[in-house]
Structures are given as C-alpha cells and as structure tokens.
Structure 1
Amino acid sequence: MRHRTRLKLALALLAAPLLPFAAGEAQAQACTPVAQIQPSQLVTAGKLQLAINPTLPPQQFVDSRGELQGINIELGQEIAKRLCLELQFIRMDFPSMIPALQAGRFDGIHTAMFWTEERSRVAYMVPYALQAISVGLPANSSLQVNSPDDLSGKAVVIEVNTYQERWLRSVSEDLVKRGKAPITIRGFTTATEAMSALRAGQGDAAALLDYMAVDMTKRGMIRTVLFRLGGAPSAMAFRQRPVAEAVAAALESMRKDGSYGALFERYGLTPQPADQPFAIRGPGPG
C-alpha cells in the first residue's frame, strides 16, 4: 500500500513541472496573428514599439492619472492585439521621431503624422485616417479671419516640422507673390507649447490639426475661424516593410469586422474612405 502511495507521489512530482509549460503553450497557440512578423523584423522580439507625442487630444493625450488616452492609443492597442504582440508606446517630441526611427530605436511612429511624398521616401508609411488644418484665435480675440489671406502680416504659432508648418509656409509664400505681407511663423516643439504661447499673447492665431482645434474650441480655449484647409492622409510610419504590411493587414481586419468604423465614429473623427485599402503608400526608404 505504501509502495503504491509513493509511486503516485513520484508520478505527481514528475508531472508537476509539465503543467506550466503546457498552459503557456496553450496560451501562445490561442493567439493567431492576422499577419506574421518575424522576431528579427522587430527592435525587440514580441513587442511592437511605437513612438507617440501625446499632446493632441482627442487623438492622443495624457489623462489626469498620467495614462495615455485617445483614438490612436486604442487603435495601436487593437493592432498589436491582432498581431499577437505586446504594445509599447514611447513618448517623445515629434521633431526627433523620424531620425530615431531611422536609427532603429523603435518599430514605428503612430502620432497623427500627415503623409507626405518626402516622408514616404524615408519610412514605410500606412495611411489610416484623414486630417486637415484649422486656424484658431484666442477666445477673446477680436481679429476677423475669413480666409488664409487675412493671416497676412499676422503672427501664427505652430508645432515645428509638421504638415501644418509646411502648409502655412506655402500660404505665406503665395501671399508674398501677390504683393502681400508674409505671415510671421512662430514654431514650438509641441502643439501644447504652441497653444500656451498663443494664450500668452505670442501669436495672433494658431494653425492646428482639425481635431485638436475642435477639442480646444469645446473647452473654450480658442475660437476656430477656418476649417478643413489643406488636408492629407494621416499615416503611421515603419522602419521595416513587413511590419508595415502586417499593420495594414490588421487595419483591414478591423475594417472588415466593423471595429475600425465604430472606433472612429465614437471619437467623431474621419476614417479612411472605404474604397481605399490599407496599404503602404509611397516607395519607402531607398
């Protein structure tokens, strides 16, 4: 009898180490990615590391508890989930993002970045939404702005190295060609700093992403006077083509099951048109 008891205990001890392995194996097998990414194609195997500048509510911002919130946060989380990867956001200012991406510090950029031909040649870019530019004034400003021409001779604050800055410089150059005074462009590292400068009287107006202008207007911080100027796709950028292709596949799966549309509807933002597939746009790094 004692022999049988010892035998049962020995068998139990032999089986015990196998249980965690079996459970872990089952858990790993439970997640099937919509597209495969090889570990060597990521900066850190098993992780999708994305740079973000959380200063653009409601797209991406930090709440009162210090946690990341916004549509781009939720979108990134869902993409990583469908690729069976752990998501890690890396907070940093926008101007240093592309050089850091090229240096291999992270896998991609997900910060409401406008797609441009120039950027599409230094990273693999996947458009995922539509954005445009609005012009806002301090809430108590009496300035009348009915068109971009009315910004002639005025000081306009912007976040540097952005689509907004390029658009504003183009408008200013056009004004000069027509014999009008140029726009004084005052650049700041983040959109938050630009807005602080506007409220401090360092500018007459601000050129902002549409969605940020809407949010700031709702909170009574500015008065938006011009809407949906310029306009370009908002895109994610990646250092490796296979990673960009996998992210595009995840977005397509979200569109197919309706979660992509539901997310954009909940935030009131503009999704990519249904007739435009999610894919890399542009040649990528040469």
Structure 2
Amino acid sequence: MALRTTLTTTGLLGATAVLASLALTGCSGFGTAAAGAADAGGPDVPIGDEVSTTADPEIAALLPAAIVEKGHLDIAVDIPFPPMAMYDDTNREVGFDPELARLLGQKLDIDVSINKQAFDSVIPSLQAGKNDLILSGMNDTPERQETLNFVDYTHGGFAIVVEAGNAAGITTQSDLCGRTVAVQKATVQGELLRAMECGSSPVVVTELPSDLDAQTALRAGKADAYVSDAVVAEYAAATTSDGEAFDVVRDPENPAGFAPVYSGIGILKDDAELTEAIRQAFQALIDEGAYQQVLDRNNIGAYAVESAEVNRGAGS
C-alpha cells in the first residue's frame, strides 16, 4: 500500500521504496459486515479484537449532504492485498484498509460499504460514481493528484523479494538489470523498473493482474524477483509456506530500506467537503490512538504518520 507509487528518479526504486524492515512476524453500520451480519440487516461494527471508536457529531456534520442522504460511504478496496486487505475464514474483510474504513464510519456516524475493486479500476470507480473513497494502499503521487486528493495515512515504500536462498544472487537494486521481475498491474512498479539505468540489459518487467499473481510467478520460476510494497513484501515473506518460500533483499547500500513515500485515502479532487470530513475524522483517530492500534494490529506500526494531512506526495 505501501504502498503504490510513481517514478521521479532513475535507479530501481529511486524515490520510492522500502522503509525500515518490518519485524513481521455490503453495507455496515459502522464498518464492514461480519459474515451474516449484513444479511441479517443489522449494522456491522468492529468485532472481536478489532479496534473500535465513537462518533463525533461535529465531524459527522462535515459530510456532504449527498453522502448523508445516501446513508453510507462506498469504499473501493483491492482484495486480497495482505496485510492491507484480505478475507478471514468467515469471508469478512479484514486488514488495515477495511478496519480503518470501519473506524472512519464509526467516527462519522455513517454506514460504510466496502466494495471489492481491482486496483487498476479504483480511480475510474470514483469517477463513475460507484465509490466515494479509495482505501487500497495507493501511493500519493503528483500524477494521481491531478485527479485525487489524498488524506495520507502511511509512509513506506517498496521491497525486492526473491526465492528463499536467493539462488539468483540478487543483493542490490542494480542486480535486477537483465532479470525478469514480476509486479502487479497498474501499481507503477513497472515504470520504476523500466526506468532503471541498465544499459543494454534492461529489466524484463512482467505485469500481472494481482500481487498474488506476481508472487506465484516468482514461486513458479517465471520471474527472478518480484517487487511490491514493503509492507506487503514483508508479510508475504513472513507468512508464505511458514516463511520458507521467500527472502526480502536487504540492499547494503540502503540498510534502512529504499526512500519511503506517502500513501493515503483517495478522494476525487473536486470533493473538498468529503476530503475535509475524512481528514478530520482521521485526525481524531490519530489523536485518540485508534489509528496506531489498527496499524499495530496489522503489524505495520512502523509506517505511521503523525498527523492527518492532504497531498504530501508532491515531488515524491
């Protein structure tokens, strides 16, 4: 989510990439539905050990009249994209993005509908009026700011993943030159890789429909590496085959990871009222500690932002 960015410099992940490595280990009343809750017609509040909050009437009053009249926020989320978004064993949407969506719904005292949407169609879904917000690990970039406002919610970057044991011998970003690298379609990693200065041996970029497809290509030997958001890469390395399938490349020239970028909640540029309502709701979640709790719950606490600000990705 890490999360998904654009290119401003040459070199593999020049201006975007891994933060410090992680120690990874329907409609709803105030969130998304647990299996069966929406079918029963009741609101779907955070359950179990999920983080919860309370409504703030003053912030709720900032919502545009059209949203209030509709009675819920439609939120585009690319699922699965663990740990940002995934399904649990009851088919309930969990992970940072769905859980933050629930918190925003609670704070704004409005239903949210979490709508599964392929990442390459999340922006068109807003333009078509299908969704109101994007919560999908989307990097805040100058190019995307031409269409969207971003309430920035994480600060992170990208990582390089190889098969366990790293038989390909990829130890630095320059080692990707001449290699086949799998990425998810429309995440802009492809642009980053194609822009590398590799002389006569450019990176061979394989763009696939989902991040999981890119991981599968690596496991199947169809790629030498896969590049993804750091939080996703670390999660994949820690959880796939009990941590035995992948290694994350630790570039000795970048021991703390590649330069991070902001990612955020995407809202159409001309929707200033909704942008401000979301910004203030998010700030309230930061102030009360609920935001940090949901980060920590999903093992991405190192990617926190300190305040709710808009469009910090300029120049990233």
Aligned to 1:204: 224
Contact 1:80–1:87 at 8 Å: present in 2 too?
Answer: yes
How far the C-alpha of 1:186 sits from its partner, in A, is 0.2
Structure 1 partner of 2:28: none
Aligned partner letter, 1:212: V
Q: Say whether the 8 Å CA contact 1:54–1:61 is kept in structure 2.
A: yes
Cα distance in 2 between the residues matched to 1:37 and 1:194: 39
Shift of 1:156: 0.2
Alignment-derived partner of residue 3 in structure 1: none
> Taking structure 1 as reference, are residues 131 and 153 closer, same or farther at Cα in structure 2, changes over 3 Å only?
same
Distance 2:157 2:69 in 1: 34
For 2:264, the aligned partner's letter is A
Between Structure 1 and Structure 2, how many residues are aligned? 247
Quote the residue 1:148 is aligned against.
Answer: 173
Letter in structure 2 aligned against 1:248: R
Paired residue for 1:229?
258
Aligned to 1:8: none
Q: What is the CA deviation profile of residues 41-94 of structure 1, one whole-angstrom value per residue up to 9, with x for unaligned ones? A: x39712111100122211111123222111111111001111111010110111
- Who is 2:133 aligned against? 108
Tell me how far 1:280 sits from its aligned partner. 2.3
Q: Which runs of 4+ in 1 moved over 4 A?
A: none
1-structure distance, mates of 2:56, 2:279 = 18
Instruction: For 2:310 and 2:295, locate their aligned partners in 1 and report how far apart those are by CA, in whole Å.
Output: 21
The residue correspondences of 1:74-113 to structure 2 (distance < 5 A) are 74-113=99-138
Q: Which has the higher contact order (CA 8 A, sep 6+)?
A: 2
- 1:31-110 to 2 correspondences below 5 Å: 32-35=57-60, 36-40=62-66, 42=67, 45-110=70-135
Task: Provide the C-alpha distance between the structure 2 equivalents of 1:45 and 1:101, rounded to a whole number of angstroms.
Answer: 15
1:191 aligned to 2:211? Answer: yes
Shift of 1:192: 1.2
What CA distance in whole angstroms lies between the structure 1 residues aligned with 2:82 and 2:201?
33
More helix by share: 1
After superposition, give the CA deviation of every residue in 1:250-269 in whole Å (9 maximum; x if it has no partner): 11111111212222233331
| Cα drift, residue 187 of structure 1 | 0.1
Between the aligned partners of 1:96 and 1:131, the Cα distance in structure 2 is: 23
**Is contact 1:138–1:222 with CA below 8 Å preserved after alignment?**
yes
Separation of aligned partners in 2, 1:224 and 1:204: 13
Whole-angstrom CA distance in 1 between matches of 2:262 and 2:313:
16
Change (3 A) 1:170 1:283: closer
RMSD, matched Cα: 2.2
Distance 1:166-1:230 versus aligned 2 partners, 3 A rule: farther
Residue 215 (structure 1) aligned with residue 235 (structure 2): yes
1:145 deviates by 1.4
Deviation at 1:33, TM superposition (A): 4.9
In structure 1, the partner of 2:296 is 265
Question: Are 1:242 and 2:268 matched, yes or no?
Answer: no
Deviations 1:153-212 (A, max 9, x none): 1000000111423322232xx22xxx3510000001110111122222211100011111
> Counterpart of 2:70 in 1: which secondary structure?
coil
Q: C-alpha distance in 2, partners of 1:181/1:283?
A: 31
Alignment of 1:148-187 (within 5 A): 148-171=173-196, 174-175=197-198, 179-187=199-207
Whether the 8 Å CA contact 2:262–2:312 is kept in 1: the answer is no
Where do 5+ consecutive residues of structure 1 fail to align? Answer: 1-29
Deviations 1:132-157 (CA, angstroms, capped at 9, x unpaired) = 10000122541111211101110000
- The structure richer in strand per residue is 1
Alpha-carbon distance between aligned partners in 2 of 1:266 and 1:66, rounded to the nearest angstrom: 19
* Partner SS state of residue 142, structure 1: coil
Q: Calculate the TM-score normalised by the size of structure 2.
A: 0.73
Gaps of 5+ in 2: 1-54, 252-256
Q: TM-score if structure 1 supplies the norm length?
A: 0.80
Query: What letter corresponds to residue 203 of structure 2 in structure 1?
Result: I
